[in-house]
Structure formats: C-alpha cells, structure tokens
Chains A and B, each alone.
Chain A
C-alpha cells in the first residue's frame, strides 16, 4: 500500500476515457461501481466540455455482487449500443470490477454487436492514466486501422501524391494545451507543404482510424499517449514517425528538419516566426542568466522545459524530474547531461523536499508544484498536466511550435521579478519602497511576505544564533535580496562548518561568498 493524498495521474480507465472522449463515434462501457462517474466532471468542468463523455457505467451495487454483475454488464452494453449507436465500442473494467473478474471482453463478444467492440485490459493496480490512454489508443488503432496494403501498392500510391501526407497522433481530451498545440502544428505542416490526413484521437472517428495507413509518415505530438501506436504503425505500414517534440525554438527547428526529411522535402529557408530569440538576447533578459530552475512534470514537457530553460533562457537547471515512470530512462539521461540525478517519483512530498532543499528561484511544474512553490515563496509556471481549470484557457495558448515558444517565454518570465525591479531591489536594499519586504509590482500591492509573527521571528533568530551567526553577520544577511538569501545562508554555514568556525561574522559571510563564486 502507498499512502497518498495527491496523485499526479488517475487510474488507467481515466486514460481510456480521455481517448473515448476525444473521439467521435466511439462509446465506452465501463464495468464500475457507483461513484466512478466522478471522472465525468473532469471533462465537463475542468476542460469545460459541452457534452457528457461517451461513457456508460454499469453502476453495480453490493447487492448485485453475489448474483449477476455479468448480466448487468451485458444489459448495460446492449442499452448503450441501442441509445448511442456508435461506430465502435470500448469495454473494460474499473479497479473494483477488475477484482470481480466478469471479463467484459468475453461478455461483449457474446453480445454479438454489429460494430467492432474492443476489450481493454487496464491493470488498475499496476498502471496509471497515461498508460491507460496509450494502451487504449493502441488497441483502437490495432483493431480499426485497415490491413497493410499489398506489397508494391503502397509504394506505388505514395509517391503519386503531389504533396506529402502525414497523420498527427497524440492529442486527447483533458490534455494540457492539446487543442492549441494541434492548431499550431497543423499550421506549421501546412507552411511546410505537408498535408494532414488523420488527426487522432482528438476529433477522429473509427472510420478515420481505418485511413491511418494511407499517410506517408506520422507526427507524434505526445509520446506518452501515441508512442505505442506509432511503433505499431511503423511495423505494420512502414510509416516512420517523428521523434522530436516541437516544444521550444530549438526543438521546433529540429522538428521541422525531421519533417522535411520524412516528407522528402528539400531544406528551405528557416521559418522565422518566433520572438523568443530576440527577447532572450535583449538586454533586459540578461538578469535571467543562471537563474536556478527546478523542472517537474510529465516526461515530454519536463524534458522540453529543461532544454528551453537552459538553451533558450540561459537558466541553470538545478533539478529535473517526472512522474512518468514509462519514460524514466529518457529523463535520467537528460538530467545526467546537466550533472543531475533525475527525480522519478509520484509522491509529491518527495518533490516538495527536493524543491525545499534546492531553493531554486523558479519552479516549472504541474498544479502541485504551483502550490509547493507558493508555500515556499518561489515563483512558478505550469508546464504540464495535471492542471486545473485555469490552464484550459479560452485564448490561444499552445506550448508547441513558434507561437508556443512565445507563450512559454511569457509564461516562464512573468513569475520572476522583472529585470529592472531586481536591480532596484539590489541597489536600494534598505529603501522604503524597494526593500525586500515590499511586494514585487507584478504581485499587486502590499507586503511581499506574510508579516512574521513575533514568535516565528524569535525562532528564526534562534536558529541563526544556534548556527553561530553573530548579530552583525545576521544583519548583513538580511541585506541580501530574499531570492538568494537562503542560498547565501546555506553556503556560509557550510563554509563555516567545513572550517570549524564556531561564530559566523560579516567576514565569514563575504569569505564564503568569495569562495563559492569562484
């Protein structure tokens, strides 16, 4: 058993719901007890969908358990088919139904419905939401994509087209910025002269999935969702797929190069549709240099953010982690390249510990990291699901492509103290308006920090005293801007401890500063 308050991912059947809800003409019959319908509101409230997810639950109760939950499942399946007349159906069990072992797949087969019925095996006690989404999409593609064309016919068909044709795989319901990423990548492909055949699962019908094999190659936007299906399509239809996720300027350029290569298009002039490189070179951004940033999220977004933060913002990466165990190896490799050990965990308390210990100046993470950062008084931007309703915005806000880079520029920089403001804070440390108890302008009027209760202030002074801080050194420490004070304090204490100094003086503080800034 694992003690959990917050979970980064839902159970795997929620992943299956994300696929079913993304598509048209698919209906999911879920063998589940009363209460599992809570997941509907993720779609209707958080993503603000105007339709109920296409999911019917059997809603079995305790009194059904001894007798006939299988019959209940069959009846529910028949009723759902009659009512919704889908082109294809998904059947499966939620965690509780998995334990009662009714075999939805076998029961559905016996029902003999006139449409394809895909049985999902989603092990709820081992796997999670993204795995469930990937598996569901894979099973749908496997079942519905038409058989591979005859030898020769494919190669005869494909070059006959005037423009190359690709599919876009990965966007789902309840995906973080999937709607706008899709729009962005569609436009990018169009400007490269590449046509889009099928987009799946978002907006696709079962009939669309049958056409997947017609395209020349596949564009995989979210490997967590579409990676398994893309590999199967490669094996079955010989379709190559993209491996670069176009989040960030550098990644988008590589993505374009990869598309050109897959589509057999000659390299053209670079597309210059992003303001990020100029914004990042403009002098106001020089204060961003070396800002210490901690990154956590799903593997795709975390790795992309780590690359952008270091290569496009000039930050220093001090921590990188993911809750996506399926991609732990890739994330570890990226972390190692920065001399770090990746944090692979789904326990938010571990993430909180890591952030508290590293004292970064910026956290890039999920909704959970937003709250951790708020508690620790650190700036934060959201880069990955899980997210709350405000991160399904009305405005166009992709993460991918060149407009995505513009969006991310604004997103990462806003929580930081603006450059000029930071200089003022440094210059006028004791000034009445620019001292570090004054709230930065972008956070509104008032105190920056909660007024410290006398007891807490005494306790803080006591810990400083216990660590050997003299009164002068303590006063000097307070003059250091708040966003580096924690680091200065830790460095000084470490410096003093390493040299066996019992008292920390102003001299020690500056000796330590000189020592660590070499």
Chain B
C-alpha cells in the first residue's frame, strides 16, 4: 500500500530518462487481466480457439470486453467451473476432457486450441500444461493444444498476448541457418501487410510474423533469426525466443513517423540494407505520415497529457505525442516497465516526466486531479467519472483495437487524441 520510490536499478549510459527514478506503487489496480487479450488474438490467428478454464466472472469479463463480438460465433469460450469441480482435481480433468471433446465436435475447423489459465484455475492448481499435453496426444495431428496463463494474478491486460506468444515459441519449427527477420506481436492485418511491403522494398522478402494468421504457418526460429518487437509488452516471448538462439533488435516501437522509421531501420541495419535503398523504400510513406501528423499538431501542441497504466503502450505513445505532436507529458503510468525493451524509448522522453509503474488507483487519481492535465488516457471504468469531474479523457482500450502502428496509421493515431478536444470545442451544452 505504501508508495516507494526506487532509484533505477540499472545505470545505463543511455540518455533521456532511462536513468530516472520510477514511482513504483501497489494497491488497487484498475486494469484488465490477461484474459482480455483473447479478444484480439482470436481474430488474428484465424484457426485457433481459446478456451478459458475459469469462473463465471471470467466469462462475464470476456463478454464485457468483447462487446458485440460475442454474437459473431467467436472462437473463444469459458469452461465455467462449478461447485463439484472444486471438490477433487481428478474430476476437473475429466470434465475438461469432456468439454474439449464437445468443442472439437462442434468446431472441427479448429487447428489450435489454447487452454487459458485463470485466477481460479491457478489457485486450485489445476495443471493445464499437463492437460494440454494429454489432450494433444489424443487429438494429434489434427489439433494442437497449448496452454498459457491469462489470469489476473499473473498478468495485466496485454501480458495475456505475451504469455500466449511465449507458449507458441517452443512450437516454432527450427530455422535453417539463413538469417531471417521475424516481427513479433499481433498487428492488424493491414499494418502487417504494410510492413511486409516496406521490408520487401528494401530487399527483405521473407519477413515473417508471430503470431501467424494460420496456425500451420508458424515461422521458423533459430540462431540466425533476428527479431523486432512490434509491441512493448512481450518480455516472456522475447525470453523464449532468446532461448532458441534468436537475437533481439533494439528499437523504439513503430508509432508515429519517427518511431516507424527507427523501427524499420533497426531491421534494415541488421540485414545490411543499403541506407540509400532504405530511404527510397521509406521516404514517401514517411513524408505522408509527417503530413498526416501535422494536420493534428494545432490541436495537440502544448497540451498536457496524463497516462493511467493499462497496456504498456503508454511510453511509446507518450514519446510519439511529445516528439511529433508537441504534447507535454505529466505522468506516464505503465502496468509494467521492461527497461531493456523500452531503453530506446526512454532515451527519447523528455527529462521532466514522472514515470510510474504499477498502480494505487486512488492515489493516482489524486495526482491526476492535482495536475489537472488537458487530456487523461485511462480505462473505461475511470473515463466517465473523470469527465464528470471536468477532465477530458481518451479511453485507452481503443488503442489496442484500432490499427495505430506504421506510417499510414500515424495520422489516425494522432486523431484519436485530437478528437476529445475537437468534441469539446463543438459542444455548446
């Protein structure tokens, strides 16, 4: 419950605020758990099904997060544990087998099944990895069954994707010795295609993506693999890739014109792409992105922004908003700060920003009220109450469901932050 300010553990030579202290707090966290990641992951891997083993609360959470998607025959469901499942573990395993066989009958098109652990299943120590191995043997080779934890006691929001991708890494085929570029992190298909085209224009034709759109298209990995993280929340996945000999390419994240260029450049440099060729592949798109951003600069420049922790996207977003749109940063909250993966980002942040990791929501609300920022980025549980207090907000979950990465989306990303101000000036009631 007490807020402790720790000096940064590492003393890198990186400039910016990489060495700055981070306010670490714990207390009530107004965040989603990792189960929420299923909502976008099941759209991305088109032949995968996500079966949460949990409680009615888990089903209710996914239902609330998925909104109308729930009505579209989605590829996820919850095996809701009942009183009798809690009595003995052997019974729970039999029940799970029964549910999976019913599911497989109903959805024979499914090629990959994730058993997703929840708080209740973990507290009763239901061993889903063993269940996944057992069921995999039964349904091989048509159906591959994996498991990961999306529980709130283990994961915050986007960390669910991290655990899911980390569970995929041991399944990836071994790469041949040819070095290959791998882009890691679920991106909207349109963004993925843009990146593939940009890399191809530099001569990197065989860039692969994790997760793939079809579970049979798992990208190979091996000592020759160089990988770029497309998302900042992939600590476990990166560790699993490192264990298979792949090498991480440090880069800022591809948001905004600058971020996208630096991210692409990190990939290009690792494969010896000629700088002239890199410029010719990216120059036009980068110019388009800068132009699109400029359109929003007028409404965002000089405005003070405050981030509540949510997705770990906060630091790259804050960097982009401050450097490319002239916004002023107050506090940037993040649920988890991976210093190594964010080193390039931290170097680009201004000196005077308060970084906070974790949350005690009431204390953080006090800070936001004292600060009275022009724009507050927060979850749906906080947004309307803060609006009612006179603070302008931007709800953060939209940043996960909207394509925001890459050059062509830079203007859309800026527009998400400009819209609340636009609305404010229009309303006369």
Residues on A lying within 8 angstroms of B by beta carbon are 1-7, 9-11, 13-14, 33-42, 44-45, 48-52, 56-62, 64-65, 75-76, 79, 83, 94-96, 99-100, 123-126, 128, 368, 371, 388
**Residues of B close to A35: CB separation below 8 A:** 31-36, 61, 119, 151-152, 156
* Interface 0/1 of B361-390, CB less than 8 Å to A: 010000000000000000111111101100
Select the residue from A58, A62, A126, A371 with max chain B CB neighbours within 10 A: A62
* Nearest CB of A to B108, in Å: 16
Given the complex, which residues of B lie within 8 Å of A368, measured CB to CB?
71
A sample of 8 cross-chain residue pairs with beta-carbon separation below 8 angstroms, ordered by A number, consists of A2-B82, A4-B56, A5-B74, A35-B32, A35-B61, A51-B385, A95-B55, A124-B57
Contact A38/B153 with A44-B382, A128-B56 known, Cβ cut-off 8 Å: no
Contact with A along B34-63 (1 / 0, CB 8 A): 111000000000000000010111011101
Q: Complex formed: what's the CA distance from A75 to B119 in Å?
A: 22
Classify the secondary structure of B's interface with A. helix
Inter-subunit contact B123/A65 (CB<8 Å): yes
Q: Which of B64, B70, B156 contacts A41 (CB 8 A)?
A: B64
Q: Across the interface, do A33 and B153 meet the contact criterion of CB distance under 8 Å?
A: yes
What residue of chain B has the Cβ atom nearest to residue A72's Cβ?
B1
Kindly name the residue among B55, B103, B122, B124 whose own CB sees the greatest number of chain A CB atoms within 10 A: B55
Looking across the interface, which residue of chain A has its beta carbon closest to that of B94?
A1
- Are A38 and B120 interface neighbours, CB within 8 A? no
Please indicate the chain A residues that have their CB under 8 angstroms from the CB of B153 in the complex.
33-34, 60-62, 64-65, 96
A123 to B, closest residue via Cβ: B83
Q: Which residues on the B side are within 8 Å of A45 (C-beta)?
A: 380, 383-384
Question: Max chain B CB contacts within 10 Å: which of A11, A33, A371?
Answer: A33
Is B269 part of the binding interface, using a Cβ–Cβ cutoff of 8 Å?
no
Which chain A residues lie closer than 8 Å to B35 at the CB level? Answer: 35
Tell me if B200 is interfacial: C-beta within 8 Å of chain A.
Answer: no
Q: Is the CB of B120 within 8 A of A95?
A: yes
- Contact: A50 with B79, CB < 8 Å? no
Q: CB distance B385 to A41 under 8 Å? A: no
A57 touches B28 (CB 8 A): yes
**Contact status B82-A125, CB under 8 Å:** yes
Interface secondary structure of A, over-half rule: mixed
A79 to B96, CA, bound (A): 41
Residue among B76, B92, B119, B385 making CB contact with A33, cutoff 8 Å: B119
B85 proximity list for chain A (CB < 8 A)? 1, 125
Taking a contact as CB atoms closer than 8 A, the residue among B28, B63, B123, B154 that contacts A76 in the complex is: B28
Who on chain A is nearest to B151 by CB? Answer: A33
CA A48 to CA B383, docked complex, whole Å: 10
Check if B384 sits within 8 Å of A4, measured CB to CB. no
A65 CB contacts on chain B under 8 angstroms:
123, 153
Q: A1-B79, A100-B123 are in contact. Are A58 and B28 (CB under 8 A)?
A: yes
Minimum CB–CB distance from B25 to chain A (whole Å) comes to 11
| Complexed CA–CA distance, A35 and B64 (Å) | 12
For B119, what are the chain A residues with a Cβ–Cβ distance below 8 Å? 33, 35, 95-96
Query: B56 near A11 (CB under 8 angstroms)?
Result: yes
In the complex, the answer to whether A7 meets B60 with C-beta atoms within 8 Å is yes
Q: Is the CB of B80 within 8 A of A40?
A: no
Q: What residues of chain A lie closer than 8 Å to B59, measured between beta carbons?
A: 4-7
Q: Which of B28, B63, B388 contacts A37 (CB 8 A)?
A: B28
Contacts of B99 in A (CB 8 A): 1, 3
Q: A1-B80, A5-B76 are in contact. Are A124 and B55 (CB under 8 A)?
A: yes
Closest to A3 in B: B99
Task: Return the chain A residue nearest B149 by Cβ.
Answer: A62
Supposing A6-B70, A35-B32, A36-B152 touch, asked if A41 and B379 sit within 8 A by C-beta, the answer is: yes
Return the contact of B384 from the options A9, A50, A96, A99 (Cβ within 8 A). A50
> Chain A nearest CB: distance from B241 CB in Å?
24
A10 with B56, Cβ < 8 A, contacts A3-B77, A5-B70, A44-B385 known? yes
Pairwise interchain contact B33-A11, C-beta atoms closer than 8 A: no
- Are B384's CB and A49's CB within 8 A? yes
Q: How far is the CB of B395 from chain A (nearest CB, A)?
A: 9
* Further contacts, 7 of them, CB under 8 A, given A34-B33, A41-B379, A45-B384: A4-B56, A7-B60, A33-B119, A44-B382, A52-B385, A76-B1, A124-B57
Closest B residue to A96 by beta carbon equals B119
With a cutoff of 8 Å between Cβ atoms, the chain B residues found around residue A57 in the complex are 28-29
Q: In the assembly, what is the distance between CA of A37 and CA of B59, in Å?
A: 14
B122 and A62 form a contact (CB under 8 A): yes
Interface contact B60-A40, CB-CB below 8 Å: no
Chain A residues closer than 8 Å to B196, beta-carbon distance: none
